[in-house]
């Protein structure tokens, strides 16, 4: 199931602004931050040039936000070393994706940014 249209627009605006603001323009040739929407999931992705071919970029999933259409709440997930998603235990489901973005930015455990 896809995100509701209004929710999708809000997410695109908020995550677009977050990605734009997180990486300074002068280093975007070395690192980029993007996101991908698939169904009810939004994945925050860090991209870097591939070390053997700088014309190609590698992707590393940073965090995933999952929307539950029944209760209209977002849940934050983190990936383990095998790229399996797990609920991030230091956050609770919320109606505001901003709250979860703040948790990713704060990164109390080092799970998102290392």
pLDDT digits (tens, 9 = 90+) for 60-103: 999 999 999 999 999 999 999 999 999 999 999 999 999 999 99
Is 51 inside any structural domain? Answer: yes
As for how many domains the chain has, the answer is 1
* Exposure letters 25-53 (e unless 16+ CB within 10 A, then b): eeeeeeebbbbebeebebbbbbbeeeeee
Is 114 inside any structural domain? Answer: no
Whose structure tokens read 């936000």?
A: 65
**What is the structure's pLDDT at 114?**
83
Is 111 inside any structural domain? Answer: no
Q: Which residue segment(s) compose the domain that 92 sits in?
A: 5-106
Is 112 inside any structural domain? Answer: no
In whole angstroms, give the CA distance from residue 55 to residue 39: 30
Query: Cβ distance 30 to 46 under 8 Å?
Result: no
């Amino acid at each position: 199931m896809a995100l509701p249209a209004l929710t999708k627009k809000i997410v695109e605006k908020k995550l677009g602004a977050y990605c734009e603001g997180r990486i300074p323009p002068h280093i975007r040739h070395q690192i980029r931050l993007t996101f991908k929407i698939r169904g009810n999931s939004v994945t925050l992705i860090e991209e870097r040039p591939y070390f053997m071919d700088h014309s190609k970029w590698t992707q590393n999933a940073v965090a995933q936000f999952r929307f539950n259409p029944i209760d209209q709440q977002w849940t934050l997930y983190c990936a383990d070393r095998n790229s399996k998603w797990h609920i991030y235990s230091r956050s609770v489901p919320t109606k505001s994706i901003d709250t979860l973005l703040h948790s990713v930015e704060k990164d109390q455990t080092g799970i998102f940014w290392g």
